[in-house]
Amino acid sequence: MHIQYLDDTPDVVSLRSTSLYLRDFELADWPAVHHYAMDAEVTRFMAWGPNTAEQTLTFITHAVKNAHTTPRLSYDLAVIHAATHSLIGGAGLYIRQDRRFEAEIGYCLQKEVWGRGYGAEIARLLVRLGFDHLHLHRLIATCDPENIGSVRVLEKAGFQREGLMRSHLKTRSGWRNSYLYAIVVTDPRLMC
Ligand SMILES: CC(C)(COP(=O)(O)OP(=O)(O)OC[C@H]1O[C@@H](n2cnc3c(N)ncnc32)[C@H](O)[C@@H]1OP(=O)(O)O)[C@@H](O)C(=O)NCCC(=O)NCCS
């Protein structure tokens, strides 16, 4: 199988939706990232958070470092509101070390912008990154069955539910089940 890795993240023109664009994180982003990463509601279904300032700085430092690793397997990207150029969240695409045709995606938005359709826009941009730019075969995502917003986001981006993984993720409320979602390159695409 041929997988073409990018030297750099695709430019913002190619990773832009109606309202948003994705770009690599910069160290200077950390206060904006910390704004959502320290929020207990935002991190409710995550294995991490709410973050201390030190934990957010560590995350940003790793994200910047990983962006310069060759081959690049980790895409931690800032979600930027196109009209204001403000950072409103984070998105991730992680190519699996042992199955380089497959990547896992994730996303997170600050609470103030929930419910505007941005989550679905991000998921569709990550599908474009995975299939059009990185030429991957399969993208997966996991989400808590109680995270209704995330379930809808994935389904609106064309992901299909493949099953329930029991006791899959340890969050601060204990071990949680996760739905497994996936989209294959040959599946119908729901574009933004
Ligand atoms: C999950 C998250 C990204 C959703 O983002 P969003 O921008 O609010 O989602 P959208 O506006 O694109 O909504 C998509 C759909 O989900 C629905 N939805 C969103 N949040 C919902 C909620 N809490 N309860 C019920 N439905 C919800 C919307 O109504 C919309 O449905 P529709 O298109 O049928 O009208 C956002 O809530 C978030 O960042 N949460 C914290 C981090 C997180 O949980 N990330 C996912 C980990 S798997």
Read off the pLDDT of residues 132-186 as tens digits, 9 standing for 90 and up: 999 999 999 999 999 999 999 999 999 999 999 999 999 999 999 999 999 999 9
- Report residue 166 as tokens: 């029991």
Domain boundaries defined on the chain:
20-184
Q: What is residue 72's predicted lDDT score, i.e. its pLDDT? A: 95
What is the whole-number distance in angstroms between the Cα of residue 155 and the centre of ligand 1? 11
The pick from 39, 79, 114 for probing ligand 1's pocket by mutation, whose C-beta has the most ligand atoms within 8 angstroms, reads: 114
Q: What is residue 8's predicted lDDT score, i.e. its pLDDT? A: 58
Torsion of the alpha carbons at 160, 165, 167 and 169, rounded to the nearest 10: -50
The pick from 19, 77, 150 for probing ligand 1's pocket by mutation, whose C-beta has the most ligand atoms within 8 angstroms, reads: 150
What is the whole-number distance in angstroms between the Cα of residue 170 and the centre of ligand 1? 21
What is the whole-number distance in angstroms between the Cα of residue 98 and the centre of ligand 1? 31
Give the whole-angstrom CA distance, residue 110 versus residue 108.
7
**Per the confidence metrics, is the pTM higher than 0.85?**
yes
Closest CA to 126 of 161, 92, 159: 92
Q: What is residue 24's predicted lDDT score, i.e. its pLDDT? A: 96
Read off the pLDDT of residues 31-86 as tens digits, 9 standing for 90 and up: 999 999 999 999 999 999 999 999 999 999 999 999 999 999 999 999 999 999 99
What is the whole-number distance in angstroms between the Cα of residue 119 and the centre of ligand 1? 6
Phi and psi (nearest 5°) for 137? -100, -30
Strands 99-109 and 138-143: parallel
Give the whole-angstrom CA distance, residue 74 versus residue 56.
17
Q: Name residue 147's beta-bridge partners.
A: none
Strands 138-143 and 174-184: antiparallel
* Nearest residue by C-alpha to atom 43 in ligand 1: 108
Element (H, E) at 122: helix 118-128
Read off the pLDDT of residues 99-142 as tens digits, 9 standing for 90 and up: 999 999 999 999 999 999 999 999 999 999 999 999 999 999 99
Q: Which CATH number fits domain 20-184: 1.10.3720.10, 3.40.630.30, 3.30.1440.10, 3.40.50.280?
A: 3.40.630.30
List, chain by chain if needed, residues with CB within 6 Å of any ligand 1 atom: 42, 45, 106-109, 114-120, 143, 147-150, 152-153, 156
The pick from 109, 122, 168 for probing ligand 1's pocket by mutation, whose C-beta has the most ligand atoms within 8 angstroms, reads: 109
Output helix, strand, coil percentages for the chain, rounded to the nearest 5: 30, 35, 40
